[in-house]
Amino acid sequence: MPSARTAIELKNVIKAYDEKASALDRVSLAVREGEFLAIVGPSGSGKTTLLRLINRLAEPTSGTVRVEENDVSVADPISLRRGIGYVFQGIGLFPHMTVAENIAITPLLIGWDKAQRAARVEELLQLVRLDPGKYRERFPAELSGGERQRVGVARALAAQPKIVLMDEPFGALDALTRDALGRDYRELHDRLGVTTVMITHDLTEAALLADRIIVIHQGHLIEEGTPHSLMTSPKHAYVRELVETPRSQAKRLAALMKGAAEQ
Amino acid sequence: MSGVDPRFYDALARLPDYLGSHVLVSVTALALGLGISLPLAIIATRRPYLRNLILGFASIVQTIPGLALLALFYPLLLVLSALTERMFGAGFSALGFLPSVLALALYSMLPVMRNTVTGILGIDPAVTEATLGVGMTRRQALTMVELPLALPIIMAGIRTAAVWVIGTATLATPVGQTSLGNYIFTGLQTQNWVFVLFGCVASAALALAVDQLLALMESGVSIRKRWRIAIGGLGIALIIAAALAPVFARPAATYVIGAKTFTEQYILEALIEQRLQAEGLSSARRDGLGSVVIFNALANGDIDLYVEYSGTLWANQLKQTEARPREEVLAEIKKWLSENYKIKMLGDLGFENAYALAMSRKQTESRGIRSITDLARFAPQLSIAGDYEFFARPEWKALVAAYGLKFREQRLIQPEFMYQAAAAGEVDVISAYTSEGRIKQHDLIILDDPKRAIPPYDAIILLAPKRAGDEKLIATLRPLLGAIDVKLMQEANLRANGSGRESSPEEIARWMWSEIERKNRPR
């Protein structure tokens, strides 16, 4: 359950446009501990920039970013990143390392011994529903897209982070795998009690997984709310448009299924 | 066994020395090159400006011909050596090993740098992002991810560099570094094609073997097969050890004899070496040195003695343009060498190898030409051919000034082919060397030089400063002084044009010594 304590806080963050990042204009938001927050927006809206500000893969032009109440601009970026799980669409598994070595990388960096790392790999592979005996010694090239992303999630969770950042984590997967992985992850989120910030351009995915949704549009935070409030009473024109598609799809599907039942 | 050319055994006997030196200079150059270019390339991957700069520089180096690059380092090091001599009281040898290693190291840098940069920059951006995401430091990202992933491409660059260095090391011979190139340079000069072929095959085989062993290591690294890395590494270590064993086991030679890049020099070098050996003095050879290189090497003590020609020193070192009687020239050179370099001019061998103008007998007889004065009248109707440097030399300018020579046509021809061209009437006049055996062979006539425009070119033995007072050496060499007349030298040079065992410099030198002894006996 989300507690009252704040895990991540952005205050009046401005990020001037440069070649590496889209701009953000005076964005403020707070994520509670244990919360699952989804950030939705079209490509180029600045949502990836927002996520990268949290683990200092990007630096704000002005404003403050706090993680567990500490200003990240004075934190050591390396130890900050080791304490935050990071999953992104490209996955970026190290192709010359086995699945086990990939998963154990952050524990290795922070000095866990071999036995601890092996036990952790075992545990995580089971957690992401991959048979350890079968997958431990495989190389990334020998895995399917879904398997790779499961390993990516396991790698992000390996050093027991309290915060997990996910950037379009399931974007490249087929619909079935994507749904299964999303639900599996939500279950992990609840079981491990982590705080998750997930970026997606798919409102349906956000609505089905997250506790709360934030919509970013052209660098501005234009709306936020629970999946329920956003789906039922969107205020901003762009969000209304965004909501329209899944709503009409849901209606047509419901009608189709009703029709099928009457036949 | 009778079917095998005896020169093959001669080549084989020299292999341990040549191969050992070749491997030593190649390995050192490659290690130095890698030591510089790898870190530089790694730094440059993160700095586009530096990247363009160093890759541009390495590309320019690559466009310099290998021979020129090697030659460039020699004067550079001479200056440096003089500088350290002045500042710290100790110079270093600017000849042989050092310039070769530096030039070859520079030569090896481009493939290594280019492949390292390409390999690292070619890594999937998602992987680079992941190194940051999992919390790696810059160094960890480099050593744990970037270098291992770029390794196959880096290794390919190292293989290219190794092949280039081993191949180019054959060109280190003219700057005084013994290498497999000694076969090729000696072979070309003495028309010993067995040597040329032997040198080419040996250096190609060495390059191929190293390339294949590195390839084995590379594949071992990329598919994680330790035994392949081990076998490849062991193979390379064995080649190095086997090649270097004779280099270190070889007793240090007492006397190093230098020789320039033509047949006569090889013969005289062999003759001197045989005399030293007969007196129980150990010696080593430094073949194929350039005219300027060899003089500086002697002054610097890198070689102990060699045969020079008075006119060369007169023009190149004393910067004299005026031709004077030979006795005067010799006396002046002797004094000048002693005062400026403490080099001892031991004496002259008894023949001249001067530049001269020569024509076919038929031409001289039909026109009644006997001297250059006669020639000057016909010159506007005639063509002249010279070797590559002749028309740029002071001798040519002196000739033109003294006799008012003006030819219809001026051509450059390889020295070996000039004599034949004159005999065949393809050119009318050539710049000949007076001790050249082909003058007699092709029945050419050397024109008189009544105005003495061309300085005398007496063959003289020079001793390095540290050998100036070496009585044993001087006593050993004394029998050669005045003992070789131009006829004997011409005949010796002519013999070298043949293609049998008897045309090797060693055999000719033995024959010359027997001739010298025969002449001395009746007296």
| Res. B1: pLDDT tops 70 | no
Of chain A residues 65-84, which have a CB less than 8 A from chain B? Answer: 78-83
Say if the Cβ atoms of A90 and B124 lie within 8 Å.
yes
Q: How confident is the model at residue B91 (pLDDT cuts 50, 70, 90)?
A: low
CA nearest to B146 within chain A: A94
Is the domain spanning B255-350+459-520 CATH 3.40.190.10? The answer is yes
Write out chain A residues lying below 8 Å of B140, CB-based: 109
Question: Count of CB contacts below 8 A, A vs B?
Answer: 62
Q: Which residue of chain B is at minimal alpha-carbon distance from A54? A: B133
Determine contact: A170 vs chain B, CB below 8 A.
no
Per-window interface: B 141-160 vs A, CB < 8 A: 144-145, 148-149
What is the amino acid identity at position B173?
A: T
For residue B126, the chain A residue with the least C-alpha distance is A92
Residue A21's identity, in one-letter code, is: A
- Inter-chain residue contact A92 with B133, CB threshold 8 Å: yes
- Measured between alpha carbons, how far is B485 from B506 in angstroms, rounded to an integer? 19
Separation CA B10–CA B506 (nearest Å): 10
CA dist B416 to B63, B220, B267, B487, Å? Answer: 30, 51, 17, 19
Contacting residues of A for B135, CB less than 8 Å apart: 78-83, 106, 109-110
CATH C-level class of B355-446: alpha beta
Above 60 in pLDDT, residue B250? no
Of A90, A96, A106, the CB nearest to B129: A90
CA–CA gap between residue A153 and residue A198 (Å, rounded): 12
Q: Which residue has the higher pLDDT, B84 or B268?
A: B268
As a whole number of angstroms, the distance between CA B333 and CA B345 comes to 8
Query: What are the 10-residue block averages of pLDDT along chain A, 263 residues in total?
Result: 77 82 85 94 87 91 90 90 89 92 94 93 91 93 91 92 92 83 91 93 90 92 92 90 86 84 58
Q: Which residues of B touch A57 (CB under 8 A)?
A: 129, 132-133
CB contact under 8 A, B134 and A78: no
Give A 112-151 residues with CB within 8 A of chain B: none
pLDDT of residue A34: 93
Provide the mean pLDDT of chain B.
Answer: 86
B-chain CB neighbours of A91 within 8 Å are 126, 130
CB-based contact A90 B128, cutoff 8 Å: no
Put simply, whether A90 touches B (Cβ < 8 Å) is: yes
A165 min Cα distance to partner chain B (Å): 10
Contact A91 B128 (CB under 8 A): no
Domain limits, chain B: 6-249, 255-350+459-520, 355-446
CATH topology identical between B255-350+459-520 and B355-446: yes
Q: Do A94 and B130 touch (CB under 8 A)?
A: yes
The verdict on a CB contact (< 8 Å) between A90 and B140 is: no
Among B436, B404, B407, which residue's Cα sits nearest to residue B423?
A: B436
Contact check, Cβ <8 Å, B126/A86: no
Residue B464 pLDDT level (bands cut at 50, 70, 90): very high
- Residue B89: is its pLDDT beyond 70? no
Q: What average pLDDT does the segment B167-184 reach? A: 86
Assess B132–A contact: CB distance below 8 Å, yes or no.
yes
- The pair of structure tokens assigned to B62 is 């690559």
What pLDDT, on a 0 to 100 scale, did the predictor assign at position B90? Answer: 66
Q: For residue A174, which phi and psi values (nearest 5 degrees)?
A: -70, 160
The answer to whether residues B402 and B451 touch, using CB atoms and an 8 Å cutoff, is: yes
Per-residue exposure over A142-172, b if at least 16 CB sit within 10 Å of its own CB, e if not: ebeebbbbbbbbbbbbbbebbbbbbbbbbbe
What count of Cα atoms within 13 Å lies in the side-chain half-sphere of residue B475? 7
Distance from the B128 Cα atom to the nearest Cα atom in chain A, whole angstroms: 7
Query: Does B35 have pLDDT greater than 90?
Result: yes
Mean pLDDT of the B221-231 span: 76
Tell me whether residues B135 and A95 touch, CB distance under 8 A: no
Chain A contacts of B136, Cβ < 8 Å?
Answer: 78, 105, 109
Averaged pLDDT for residues B418-446: 89
Phi-psi region of B280 (alpha: psi -120 to 50; beta: other; left: phi over 0): left
Q: Which of B127, B128, B134 to mutate to test the interface with A (most CBs of A within 10 A)?
A: B134
Q: Which CATH class is domain B6-249?
A: mainly alpha
Region B454-476: mean pLDDT is: 91
* pLDDT classification of B274: cutoffs 50, 70, 90: very high
Q: What percent of chain B has pLDDT over 90?
A: 33
Facing residue for B134 by CB, picked from A79, A90, A109 = A109
Confidence of residue B501 (pLDDT cuts 50, 70, 90): low
User: Any alpha helices (H) in chain A, and if so which ranges?
Assistant: 47-54, 77-82, 99-103, 105-109, 114-127, 132-135, 145-157, 175-192, 203-209, 227-232, 237-262
| Cβ of residue A53 closer than 8 Å to a chain B Cβ | no
Q: Do B124 and A92 touch (CB under 8 A)?
A: yes
pLDDT at res. A82: 92
Element (H, E) at B405: none
Find, in chain B, the residue whose alpha carbon is nearest to that of A103.
Answer: B134
Q: What is the pLDDT of residue B186?
A: 79
> What distance in Å separates residue A62's CA from the closest CA in chain B?
23
Nearest chain A residue to B145 by CA distance is A94
Which chain B residue has its CA at the smallest distance from A167's CA?
B133
Contact A91 B129 (CB under 8 A): no
List, for residues B279-293, the tens digit of each pLDDT value: 888 888 887 777 777
> What string of DSSP letters covers A19-85?
SSS--EEEEEEEEETT-EEEEE--TTSSHHHHHHHHTTSS--SEEEEEETTEEGGGS-HHHHHHTEE
A81, A93, A96: residue with CB nearest B135? A81
For B298-356, the pLDDT digits (tens) are 888 888 999 999 988 888 788 887 778 888 899 999 999 999 999 999 999 999 888 88
Tell me what pLDDT residue B93 has: 66
| Reported confidence tier of residue B87, pLDDT bands at 50, 70, 90 | confident
Closest by CA to A205, choosing from A226, A222, A182, is A182
3-state DSSP assignment of residue B137: coil
